[in-house]
Amino acid sequence: MADVDSQGLFWLYQAPNLALAALMYTLLGRFLLSIVFPPDSEKVIWKTFRQITQPAIAAVRIVTPMAVHERIVVLLAFVWLLFIRMLLFVGFAAAGWLPSIVGVPKP
């Protein structure tokens, strides 16, 4: 097995993982803000969160019935992204490409 860190594959795992994590927390922020702000609010923070998370919401809305409230769709998008992050981890672990801490001996 090749040393992942020496090949520079660290960011191959971390970049998508960090992007997915940021989107997940932004979805949580949108859910919490949806409790405070009405859907047609003109507040800048609300509009920003809606613009950032709208692509994820639209993707989940494709497979979600229209009867489901938008707040629930936001939470479903969060869960889908959580599953994608877990699949990313399992895929990299199965391939032996997970980054390791340098200087720690492998068992």
pLDDT at 104: 65
Task: Calculate ∠ Cα 61-63-69, nearest 5°.
Answer: 45
Joined tokens for residue 64: 């979600």
The number of C-alpha atoms within 13 Å of 9 and in the hemisphere containing its C-beta is 14
What per-residue confidence (pLDDT) applies to 99?
78
Task: Kindly list the averaged pLDDT for each block of 10 residues, start to end, along the chain of length 107.
Answer: 59 93 98 96 97 97 95 98 97 86 68
The verdict on pTM exceeding 0.75 is yes
Asked if residues 34 and 71 have their Cβ atoms less than 8 Å apart, the reply is yes
